């Protein structure tokens, strides 16, 4: 577990903050002085500036030690009431010390500037300490509350960042697992198809080899990317379908219905290809007829809507599929949830002998060509 930062400000920031607060206090004293009406003496700029600078710069010097002490009180193995009483007593003692410290520093400052000593234990000094202890105590409590609030905010920010990195790592792991699942058996089947075609149609075999080369080039170019433009995915699927078409001859018919404004949309890598693969797998295995697959996209209300539809046998109980999705759909839902934090959806439409359709809705984002993401 990361170590809690005792003080959320650097020394320079602490001093700068102290000077800023001192300036605000001087301005407040000046406004209050003027609101009191005509005065016999002018406003004491020198005293107010000196006094407030001493008060707040002394707080800046004491705060690191104070924060350590209060942290130790919080970590004490004592009942909460006991720790609270200790904290209150300690805060009053610190406020008294702070106030007396300002008196002593002011006396030294007076000696250096005016050449005479004030009585550090005189009636005036003691009265100054007594009157000022409660304001110092309130200042101390407010500062500690502010420090706790800043620390808690930073901890939440760090936890959010850590969760975001974990989600990103999980999405990367899911993408890598998807690639590992896709590549071995696909290449094995493709090589078998090429081997068979070499004996009956050399031109078609060469065409499949060329498409396989394009497919591999596309995969290598986008291997480390979590996101790609939709056009890249469509090109990839097109090459994939040409290769699969060589395996299944005339039984595979694919159509693309891609809107022009969606071609440059930013989508997760390998978002649609597994769905196309499933359509081929279940369609070819579930019917002896020609398998028709349609891949479509459109932009609507700043949402990118993608769909993969086939004319396979479908399912008889769509409610069961929605409640108990298979590994492919479940992993797709999980991946989109991690990438879009719940702002994406996967819907399924199907009926027995009426095909299967998967609809994906994600936020529409334009692919940035300047930096590749």
- Mean pLDDT of the 126-137 span: 78
Band (pLDDT 50/70/90 cuts) for residue 175 is low
For the stretch 78-102, what's the b/e string if a residue is b when 16 or more beta carbons lie within 10 angstroms of its beta carbon?
eeeeebeebbeeebeebbbebbbbb
Residue 231 has pLDDT above 90, yes or no: yes
Please give the C-alpha separations between residue 133 and each of 70, 83, 92, in angstroms, as whole numbers: 19, 22, 8
Task: Name the one residue in this structure whose structure tokens are 């978002």.
Answer: 271
Provide the pLDDT for residue 1: 41
Pairwise pLDDT comparison (60 vs 171), residue with the higher score = 60
Provide the pLDDT for residue 229: 92
DSSP per-residue letters across 193-209: HHHHHHHH-HHHHHHHH
- Mean pLDDT of the 160-189 span: 59
Q: Judging by beta carbons within 10 Å of its beta carbon (0-12, 13-18, 19+), is residue 185 exposed, middle or buried?
A: exposed
Among 65-79, 161-175, 249-263, name the one with the lowest average pLDDT. 161-175
Provide the pLDDT for residue 224: 66
At what angle are helices 45-74 and 11-35 packed, to 10 degrees?
130
Pairwise pLDDT comparison (114 vs 11), residue with the higher score = 11
Q: How far is CA 211 from the centre of its chain?
A: 39
Residue 356 sits at φ, ψ, to 5 deg, of -140, 135
**Dist CA 298 CA 296 (whole Å):** 7
Task: Name the one residue in this structure whose structure tokens are 């650097």.
Answer: 10
**Dist CA 162 CA 156 (whole Å):** 10
- Mean pLDDT of the 232-252 span: 82
Provide the pLDDT for residue 141: 83
Provide the pLDDT for residue 351: 76
pLDDT, tens digit (0-9, with 9 covering 90-100), for 270-280: 888 888 888 88
Provide the pLDDT for residue 309: 92
Pairwise pLDDT comparison (273 vs 199), residue with the higher score = 273
Pairwise pLDDT comparison (37 vs 212), residue with the higher score = 212
Compute the Cα dihedral for 246, 247, 252, 256 and give only its sign: negative
Residue 232 has pLDDT above 80, yes or no: yes
Q: What percent of the chain has pLDDT over 70?
A: 82
Q: 3-class SS at 138?
A: helix
Among 4-18, 65-79, 253-267, 339-353, name the one with the lowest average pLDDT. 4-18
Provide the pLDDT for residue 180: 45
Q: Judging by beta carbons within 10 Å of its beta carbon (0-12, 13-18, 19+), is residue 228 exposed, middle or buried?
A: buried
- The residue extents of the domains of the chain are 11-160, 201-363
pLDDT, tens digit (0-9, with 9 covering 90-100), for 341-363: 889 999 988 877 778 899 999 99
- Mean pLDDT of the 158-178 span: 61
**By 3-state DSSP, what share of the chain in percent is helix, strand and coil, each rounded to 5?**
65, 15, 20
Q: Judging by beta carbons within 10 Å of its beta carbon (0-12, 13-18, 19+), is residue 70 exposed, middle or buried?
A: buried
Residue 188 has pLDDT above 60, yes or no: yes
Residue 252 has pLDDT above 90, yes or no: no
Q: 3-class SS at 29?
A: helix
201-363: CATH architecture = 2-Layer Sandwich (3.30)
Compute the Cα dihedral for 144, 147, 149, 151 and give only its sign: negative
């Amino acid at each position: 577990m990361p170590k809690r930062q005792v003080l959320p400000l650097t020394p320079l920031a602490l001093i700068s903050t102290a000077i800023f607060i001192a300036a605000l206090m001087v301005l407040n004293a000046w406004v209050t002085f003027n609101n009191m009406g005509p005065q016999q003496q002018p406003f004491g700029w020198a005293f107010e500036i000196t006094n407030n600078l001493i008060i707040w710069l002394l707080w800046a010097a004491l705060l690191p030690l104070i924060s350590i002490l209060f942290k130790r009180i919080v970590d004490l193995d004592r009942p909460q009431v006991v720790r609270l009483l200790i904290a209150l007593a300690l805060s009053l003692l610190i406020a008294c010390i702070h106030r007396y410290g300002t008196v002593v520093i002011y006396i030294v400052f007076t000696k250096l500037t005016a050449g005479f000593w004030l009585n550090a234990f005189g009636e005036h000094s003691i009265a100054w300490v007594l009157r000022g202890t409660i304001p110092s105590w309130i200042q101390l409590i407010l500062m500690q509350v502010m420090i706790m609030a800043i620390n808690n905010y930073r901890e939440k920010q760090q936890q959010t960042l850590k969760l975001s990195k974990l989600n990103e790592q999980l999405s990367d792991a899911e993408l890598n697992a998807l690639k590992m699942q896709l590549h071995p058996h696909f290449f094995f089947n493709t090589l078998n198809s090429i081997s068979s075609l070499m004996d009956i149609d050399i031109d078609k075999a060469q065409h499949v080899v060329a498409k396989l080369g394009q497919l591999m080039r596309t995969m290598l170019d986008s291997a480390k990317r979590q996101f790609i433009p939709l056009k890249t995915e469509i090109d990839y699927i097109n090459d994939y379908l040409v290769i699969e078409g060589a395996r299944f001859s005339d039984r595979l018919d694919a159509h693309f219905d891609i809107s022009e404004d969606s071609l440059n949309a930013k989508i997760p890598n390998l978002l649609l290809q597994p769905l196309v693969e499933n359509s081929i797998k279940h369609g070819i295995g579930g019917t002896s007829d020609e398998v028709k697959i349609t891949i479509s996209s459109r932009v609507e209300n700043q949402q990118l809507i993608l769909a993969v539809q086939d004319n396979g046998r479908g399912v008889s109980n769509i409610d069961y599929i929605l409640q108990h999705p298979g590994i492919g759909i479940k992993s797709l839902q999980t991946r989109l949830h991690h990438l879009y934090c719940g702002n994406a959806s996967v819907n399924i439409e199907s009926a027995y002998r009426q095909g299967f359709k998967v609809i994906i809705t994600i936020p529409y984002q334009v692919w940035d060509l300047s930096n590749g993401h």
